[in-house]
């Protein structure tokens, strides 16, 4: 096909706009692998890109979508052949390089990961950047020797995509998981994923104390800002927090007290530029360790035409778990 359906962000004189269009394949950006995209997903960052409520898109026109799964249809890369099934997460796709909300994508071969054996494209996108980030967070806590025996691990924003997957992964690994959410109606959902206890996010958004009661051996924080500051103040001696989100803000109104008096570590989790060897290990572990029934329980699917409405909903905190976008 010379043209294909794509969601395109533009910035004309009248302002930011995001609409479906027929896109010419000749206008795809440089890359040595062309993929027929079958599925994508909706992450918080995608919500910001589609609505224009965050500075995600940095060139125009842009096809948003930081994730995709599909089949290679053309390749000059030594690593990929037509017919290979691939995943892409990050690398600036959907931000500076045309992204996954389209029936075709052209990217660099070194950005791709092979779809694990036995996993469908839809399952790969049910995991997506959110699930991959959750696994990177677990791996970071493990590398810091935060074992199940050291005590409970907190997950903030637990009903969201990263949070839901983190709850399931941590519980499967044997941790006692405390899930924090602002949606108390999701308590049963989170306990079914493996949470031992569900707490109201209000417990972590009150006035900040430099040091609070030691409650958690570790944490996966998807919220940032005052929530992250409160979490840090309640981490046990020698514990660690994997920080991977900023749904509540990018600031950190904390103090050095948890770091210098309790030896707490703040572990930054980056999914965009993560080295290929780490990506491959994360996806290997996701294929082996993420319960597929729990993945199904946290996942819903939408047609391509509904991605804009879902992007607005995810920013409003109305989306539970993961959303797969069926593209082609």
State residue 214's pLDDT score: 97
Give the pLDDT score at 206.
87
pLDDT tens profile 251-306: 999 999 999 999 999 999 999 999 999 999 999 999 999 999 999 999 999 999 99
* Residue pLDDT, tens place only, 200-219: 999 999 889 999 999 999 99
pLDDT digits (tens, 9 = 90+) for 151-185: 999 999 999 999 999 999 999 999 999 999 999 99
139 and 103 in a common domain: no
Q: What is the pLDDT of residues 23-60, one digit of tens each?
A: 999 999 999 999 999 999 999 999 999 999 989 999 99
- One domain for residues 252 and 136: yes
Percent of the chain clearing pLDDT 90 (strictly above): 95
Average pLDDT of the chain to the nearest whole number:
96
Q: Is residue 281 part of a domain?
A: no
Is the same domain home to 303 and 191?
no
Q: How many domains does the chain have?
A: 2
pLDDT surpassing 80 at residue 1:
no
- Evaluated on CA atoms 256, 260, 263, 269, the torsion sign reads positive
3-state secondary structure of 8: strand
Tell if the pTM clears 0.85, that is, is over it.
yes
Q: Looking at the predicted structure, is the pLDDT value of residue 117 above 80?
A: yes
Instruction: Tell me the per-residue pLDDT of 51-93, one tens digit each, with 9 for 90 and over.
Output: 999 899 999 999 999 999 999 999 999 999 999 999 999 999 9
Is 285 among the domain residues?
Answer: no
Query: CATH code at 313?
Result: 3.90.180.10
What is the distance between the alpha carbons of residues 122 and 102, in angstroms, rounded to a whole number? Answer: 15
Beta bridge partners of 267: 242
Q: How far apart are CA 174 and CA 165, in angstroms?
A: 14
Question: 86: buried, middle or exposed (CB in 10 Å: 19+, 13-18, 0-12)?
Answer: buried
Q: 148 lies in which domain range?
A: 128-268
Predicted pLDDT of residue 15:
86
Please check whether residues 136 and 239 belong to one and the same domain: yes
Length of the chain: 328
């Amino acid at each position: 096909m010379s043209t294909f359906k794509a969601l395109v962000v533009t910035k004309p004189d009248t302002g930011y706009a995001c609409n479906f269009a027929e896109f010419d394949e000749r206008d795809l950006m440089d890359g040595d692998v062309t993929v027929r995209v079958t599925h994508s997903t909706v992450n918080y960052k995608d919500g910001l890109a589609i609505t224009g409520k965050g500075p995600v898109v940095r060139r125009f026109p842009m096809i948003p979508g930081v994730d995709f799964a599909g089949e290679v249809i053309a390749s000059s890369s030594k690593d990929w052949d037509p017919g290979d099934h691939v995943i892409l997460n990050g690398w600036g796709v959907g931000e500076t390089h045309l992204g996954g909300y389209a029936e075709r994508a052209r990217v660099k071969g070194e950005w791709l990961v092979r779809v694990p054996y036995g996993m469908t494209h839809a399952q790969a996108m049910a995991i997506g950047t959110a699930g991959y980030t959750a696994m990177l967070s677990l791996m970071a806590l493990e590398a810091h020797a935060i074992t199940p025996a050291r005590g409970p691990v907190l997950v903030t924003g637990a009903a969201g995509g990263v949070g839901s997957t983190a709850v399931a992964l941590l519980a499967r690994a044997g941790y006692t998981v405390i899930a924090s959410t602002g949606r108390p109606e999701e308590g049963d959902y989170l306990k079914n994923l493996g949470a031992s206890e569900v707490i109201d996010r209000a417990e972590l958004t009150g006035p900040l104390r430099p040091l609070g009661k030691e409650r958690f051996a570790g944490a996966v924080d998807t919220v940032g800002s005052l929530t992250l500051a409160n979490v840090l103040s309640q981490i046990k001696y020698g514990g660690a927090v994997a920080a991977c989100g900023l749904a509540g803000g990018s600031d950190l109104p904390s103090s050095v007290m948890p770091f210098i008096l309790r030896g707490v570590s703040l572990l930054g989790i980056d999914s965009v530029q993560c080295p290929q060897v780490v990506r491959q290990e994360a996806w290997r572990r996701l294929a082996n360790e993420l319960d597929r029934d729990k993945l199904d329980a946290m996942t819903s699917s939408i047609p391509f035409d509904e991605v804009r409405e879902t992007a607005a909903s995810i920013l409003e905190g109305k989306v539970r778990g993961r959303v797969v976008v069926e593209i082609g």
